[in-house]
Structure 1
Amino acid sequence: MERIDSDLIARFASAVDTLWPHDERSGPLGLAVSGGPDSLALLLLAQSAMPGEIAAVSVDHGLRAEAASEVALVGALSEKLGIPFTAIRVTVGAGNVQAMARDARYAALAHWAQENGIGAVATAHHADDQAETLLMRLARGSGLSGLAGVRAWSHLPETGIPLIRPLLWARKSALEAAVADCGVTPARDPSNANPAFDRVRVRQHLAEHDWLDPEALATSAQHLAEGWRAIEWYAEIDWEEMVSTDDRSGAGPAYVYYANVPRIIQIETVRRIVAALGGQVSRSEAGRAADRLWRGQNASLGGVLAVAKVEKVAKIGVEMRVWRFTPEPPRAVH
C-alpha cells in the first residue's frame, strides 16, 4: 500500500490539532467510516498521521442490502491496518429517511464513544459537502445559523464528546485520489447519484458550472460560521445580563426579558427562555413571536405565554421593552 501524499497528511494533522488540541485529549480519536471514498480517506490519513491513537466504527442503517458488505470492507481494512474496529447496526424510524438515518447514526456514535472511552469522533465531511450544503440552504432561505453550514467542531448528541470534521478544507477529488493511490477500492452508494435527492442535484449543478468554485463556497460557509459564533457569544451575554427569573407572577416558573438587542439576538434568547420553561420552538416561530412582542402585542409559542410591556428599569432609570414569559394556562374544556 503506497503512502499518502505528505502534504495531505500534514494538513490533516494540523486540522485535528486545531479542532482537538493535544492537552484536551483523553482517549483515541474515533473515526466514522462508511466505506465510501471520503471516509476511507479519513481512515487512511488518520492512520498515517496518528497511528495507534485511533479507532474506527461503521454504522449499518439497515436500509440497503449492500450495507453489510460495506461495513465488512471497513472492518477488513481496519484489521489490515491494525486499527480497532466496531460494527453497529441501527434501526431507522419512520419519516424523512435521510434525517432519521442521520439521527440514528449520531446517537449510535455517541453511545459507542461513551462505551469505549473515545476522546473525540471525526467524520469525513469535506469542502464539496460544505459547498453543497451552503447552496441547498440558500435555496431554502435559511438564516445565518443554517448558512454556517457543516460545523467543524461540535458535540455528539447528549454528550460532551467533541465531534470534529478535519477535512472541510479538502476537495473530494483529492480524497478519492488518495484512496486510489493506496490501492483501496471504495464502496459506492447508489443513492449518491440519485437525482431524487436535493444534494445530488446540487452536486450535478456544481459539476456542470465551473464558475461555482466549491472551495470558495466552503470558505464563505466558514466566514458565515464565524459570524454565527459571534451571534452565539452575544446571545449568551444577553441571556446572562438581560434575563432573570420573575417571582412576582404567582403562577409558577416565569422569566422576564429586557429586550434591547437586534432581532437575531432576541430570537436566540426567546428560544432559550421557552426551552427553560419546557417548550421548544423553531427560529422562525421565535422570530414571529419577537416581532409581535416588539410591537407591544402578546405572543403564544411552545406552550409559553409572552406578555409585552414597557417599564422603567430602576437600576438604569430608563424605560425599556420588558417581555414576561410564563407557562400558558391550561385551556378550558367544555
Structure 2
Amino acid sequence: MTDWTERFRADLTALVGLPSGPIAVAVSGGPDSMALLSLAHATAPTIAATVDHRLRAASAAEARMVADWCAAAGVPHTTLVPPDGWAPQSIQADARVLRYALLTDWAKTNGATVLLTAHHADDQAETFLMRAGRGSGVTGLGGIRALRDERGVTLARPLLGWRRAELRAFAEAQGLPFVDDPSNADPRFDRVRMRDWLSDAPIEARAVAQSAAACAEAAAALDAMADLMVTERRRGDGWDMTGLPREVRRRLARRAILDVRTARPCEGRFDPATNVEGLLDALYAGEKATIAGVLACSQGQIWHFRPAPPRRSDRV
C-alpha cells in the first residue's frame, strides 16, 4: 500500500497541503470512494460521511457497510439523510444539491475545512465530452474542478489523475468492501451512455482529462484578466466593453449581473455558470435583455445593468 499512499499524499499535498484539522471524506460506498477513504485514512486524520438519499431500498445497507468499515478502522463516520419532506424534482440534480449542502454543513460542524470527493480521470473525461457535445465554451470544458469553494469549505478532488480501474484494483487488493451503484449502469443517464461509448472509443481518458485541465487553466486566466479589468471598465451602472473579446465580455457581464443582484434583491436566481449567450447577442445587436431580474442594455460599447422593473400582473 505504501506506493499508493505516497502517490496519494503527493497529489493531496499539491492541491491543499496537509490540513491541520481532520480531512473530511465523502464516501458513497462505491470502489472509488472506498479507495479514497482508505488512502486518506493512511495519510492524515480523517472523518467520513455517507449521504443516504433514501431513493433506493439498498442505500441504508450501503451506508451501514461504510459505517462498519470506519468503526473497525477507527474513522469517525456519520450517515446524513435528507430533511423530512424532501421531494426531488430532478433526481440527479436535486440529489447533488442536497448532498453538498449536507456534506459541507457536516464538515464545518466537525472542524474540517477540506472535503474530499472521489472524482477521477474517467469522470473528468466523461464530463468534458458531454459538455463538448452540448457546445460548451472554455469554462464548461474545464469540467470538474480540482479545487473550488463550496459553502465555505474547500472541495478538493485529489484523484483526478487516477483511473477508475486503478481505484477498483486498489480497493480489491486491500480487501475493501464496496458496492456498485445500479444507477451507474442505467442508460437513461447521459453520463452512463458516454461511459459506455468511451469504453469502446480509441480515446485515452487520461488525455481527455488533461485537455479538461488545460481548459480549466485557460478559464482561470480569463477570469484573472476580467478581475483586473473590473475597476478600469466599470462606469457607474455601465461597463466599457470597447475592444474586448467576447469571452472577456461574457465574464464581465456575469460580474455586472452579480453586482446588481448583490446590491438589491431581484427576481429569480442566478448561477455564475448560467449561459448568457442570449444576453450577449442582444447587447451586441443594441437591444435590451433581461436575465435573473437584471435589465441589460447597450449604448454603443457601454453596456448598462440595473434591476429590471417588476413584471406587471396579467390581470385585466
Normalised by the size of structure 2, how large is the TM-score?
0.90
Give the corresponding residue for 1:8: 4
Give the corresponding residue for 1:45: 39
Matches within 5 A, 1:247-258: 255-258=237-240
Matched, 1:291 2:258: no
Corresponding residue pairs, total = 304
1:331 and 1:74, CA in 2 relative to 1: closer, same or farther beyond 3 A?
closer
Q: What secondary structure, in the 3-state scheme, does the structure 1 residue paired with 2:108 have?
A: helix
Q: Deviations over 1:51-81 (max 9, x none)?
A: xx11111110010111111111111111111
Give the corresponding residue for 1:249: none
Aligned equivalent of 1:222, options 213, 230, 241: 213
Aligned equivalent of 2:64, options 72, 90, 95: 72
Q: What secondary structure, in the 3-state scheme, does the structure 1 residue paired with 2:48 have?
A: strand
1:281 and 1:37, CA in 2 relative to 1: closer, same or farther beyond 3 A?
closer
Give the corresponding residue for 1:309: 299
Aligned equivalent of 2:250, options 257, 263, 267: 267
Q: Deviations over 1:190-237 (max 9, x none)?
A: 11111111111111111122x111111111111111111111111212
User: Alpha carbon RMSD of aligned pairs, Å?
Assistant: 1.8
Q: What secondary structure, in the 3-state scheme, does the structure 2 residue paired with 1:277 have?
A: helix
Counterpart Cα distance in 2 of 1:282 and 1:168: 24
Matches within 5 A, 1:91-130: 91=83, 92-130=86-124
Alignment check: 8 A CA contact 1:134 1:221 kept: yes
Counterpart Cα distance in 2 of 1:178 and 1:331: 57
Alignment check: 8 A CA contact 1:274 1:281 kept: no
| Offset of residue 296 of structure 1 | 3.0
Aligned equivalent of 1:82, options 71, 74, 85: 74
Matched, 1:20 2:3: no
Counterpart Cα distance in 1 of 2:275 and 2:156: 30
Alignment check: 8 A CA contact 1:26 1:119 kept: no
Gapped regions of structure 1 (runs ≥ 5): 247-254, 311-320
Q: Deviations over 1:125-169 (max 9, x none)?
A: 01111111111111111222111011000012x32x210000000
Q: Deviations over 1:239-277 (max 9, x none)?
A: 232124x3xxxxxxxx11111311111112112212222
Matches within 5 A, 1:104-253: 104-156=98-150, 158-159=151-152, 161-209=153-201, 211-244=202-235, 246=236
Counterpart Cα distance in 2 of 1:27 and 1:126: 24
Give the corresponding residue for 1:61: 53
Q: What secondary structure, in the 3-state scheme, does the structure 1 residue paired with 2:158 have?
A: coil
Q: What secondary structure, in the 3-state scheme, does the structure 2 residue paired with 1:238 have?
A: helix
| Offset of residue 281 of structure 1 | 6.7
Counterpart Cα distance in 2 of 1:58 and 1:281: 27
Matched, 1:277 2:257: no
Counterpart Cα distance in 2 of 1:187 and 1:289: 45
Q: Deviations over 1:294-324 (max 9, x none)?
A: 33333333322223224xxxxxxxxxx2122
Counterpart Cα distance in 1 of 2:310 and 2:124: 45
Normalised by the size of structure 1, how large is the TM-score?
0.86
Give the corresponding residue for 2:309: 329
Bigger shift: residues 224-233 or 293-302:
293-302
Counterpart Cα distance in 1 of 2:222 and 2:281: 19
Counterpart Cα distance in 1 of 2:291 and 2:81: 38
Name the aligned partner's letter for residue 12 of structure 1. Answer: F
